[in-house]
A and B are shown apart, each in its own frame.
Chain A
Amino acid sequence: MPDETFDLAGCLERVRRRDQAAARELVEHLHPLVIRIVRAHLPRRVAEEDLSQEIFLKMFTRIEQYKGSVPFSHWVSRIAVTTCIDQLRAQKRRPEFRWADLSESEAGVLDSVLTSEHDVAPGAALAASELVHKLLDQLKPEDQLVVQLLDLEQKSIAEISEITGWKQSLVKVRAFRARRKLKKLFEELKRMEKS
């Protein structure tokens, strides 16, 4: 958790005066926030350290533009989110989701989800998590992000709006679109399983 006693305003002031020690303190203070966003939305084949470094460098480049209209952590979150989305867009889209690409445990979880009304067995949580990320990969980067924040991190629409900087109506539209796509994907998977 970020240090509650950290003097953010003072640190920002020192960073603006080009104090390198203050810049180090700021990176250390914000690292937990940034790395959580990076880990949740890390594109394939990208190292988390490289991506978080890119986010911090963008933050320092734009720091003069920060006017304090939103909390600094939200402002940094938005930089992190847009950087992750840019990276997700830049990578080639994964080929279509296929049963054959799933591990045995993932296929088992998917089969049980498609054919029964019961909850996933507690021991299969890891496989379910892997499966969720493979399904999310089928969505557009922005939709992926909204579903991840909404359904996995259980953030509210207002919180997602603050983190991403998108209007609440846009967040709802993206969630609607993503859920519709996921529903369609489940229908296709069920059909493929039967055939």
Chain B
Amino acid sequence: MNTPDPRWERLAVAARQVRDGRDTAAPPGFATRVAAHAFARAEQPFSALFARFSWRALGFAALLAVVSVAANYSVISAFFSSSDDDSASIEIVNEIVNPS
């Protein structure tokens, strides 16, 4: 390891003369707040986490369903409007299955 630069060393010697006289004890209420916070975090049950994420998943799935219906609206509406016409239905199904 290299020795410190003498200029840095002189500065460091002077800086070491400054004593930090601040109190190091925990401020009032700090320990209580931290302890309560730590245990509250740990006590969050698994079911609560599951509920939180499952609701998000449900919302996302619903959004996907709406988007896919909107994207295929013309095909779906054509299918339902001519549902009595078997040959047309077969044609639409054919179009979906064999797009070429």
Contact = CB atoms under 8 A, between A and B. Distances in A.
Interface string B1-44: 11111111111111111101010111100111111111101100
A24 B27 CA distance: 12
B35 A124 contact: no
B11 A109 contact: yes
B30 A53 contact: yes
B24 A32 contact: yes
Given A49-B27, A151-B12, A114 B35 contact: no
B47 to A, nearest CB: 19
Contacts of B35: 20, 23-24, 27, 60
Given A20-B35, A31-B31, A49-B30, 15 more contacts: A23-B35, A23-B39, A24-B32, A32-B25, A39-B20, A39-B22, A57-B37, A57-B38, A119-B10, A125-B18, A128-B17, A129-B18, A151-B8, A182-B5, A186-B8
A91 interface: no
A35 interface: yes
A28 B26 contact: yes
Contacts of B16: 152, 154
Interface stretch (A70-78, A92-100, A173-181): A173-181
A176 B39 contact: no
Interface of A: 18, 20, 23-25, 27-28, 31-32, 35-36, 39, 49, 53, 56-57, 60-61, 109, 113-114, 117, 119-120, 122, 124-126, 128-129, 131-132, 135, 151-152, 154, 157, 172, 175-176, 179-180, 182-183, 186
A35 B7 CA distance: 30
Interface size class on chain B is: 35 or more
A129 B12 CA distance: 8
A150 to B, nearest CB: 8
Interface of B: 1-18, 20, 22, 24-27, 30-39, 41-42
Contacts of A126: 18
